[in-house]
Amino acid sequence: GAGVSQSPRYKVAKRGQDVALRCDPISGHVSLFWYQQALGQGPEFLTYFQNEAQLDKSGLPSDRFFAERPEGSVSTLKIQRTQQEDSAVYLCASSFLELAGYEQYFGPGTRLTVT
């Protein structure tokens, strides 16, 4: 079956613009994670959904970041009033269940550049 997909793959935004990044997880996967990967760094956790419930948003760097998964499948990460420090690759991952033993499958990421 299809893997995790993300769109757009690349996004250039002017500082102050709002952006929306989409993640389509693997069908049937309960768990969905968002990570932020700055250049030359490892991914860092942003937020986690179990179905439509956002159970953890402790990694969101500011209240400009907002994520949703209203029907428990597709998720959107929204960044308001983008800043240059928001430039990064945003990775989405899904997992069949939230149990630690289940593999997280990653999407190709969205590279956001804020100018």
Which spans of this chain sit near other proteins (rule: CB under 8 A)? 3, 31, 33, 35, 40-45, 48, 55-56, 58-59, 89, 91, 93, 95, 98-101, 103-104, 106-109, 111
Least distance from C-beta 23 to other proteins, angstroms? 13
Pairing of strands 65-68, 53-56: unpaired
Q: Which is nearer to other proteins, 27 or 58 (CB)?
A: 58
Q: Which is nearer to other proteins, 25 or 107 (CB)?
A: 107
Least distance from C-beta 85 to other proteins, angstroms? 18
Beta carbons within 8 Å of 110's beta carbon, 6+ residues apart? 6, 7, 8, 9, 10, 11, 21, 89, 90
Least distance from C-beta 68 to other proteins, angstroms? 18
Contact by Cβ (8 Å): 77, 23 = yes
Least distance from C-beta 113 to other proteins, angstroms? 14
Contact by Cβ (8 Å): 91, 106 = yes
Q: Which is nearer to other proteins, 31 or 82 (CB)?
A: 31
Pairing of strands 88-95, 31-37: antiparallel
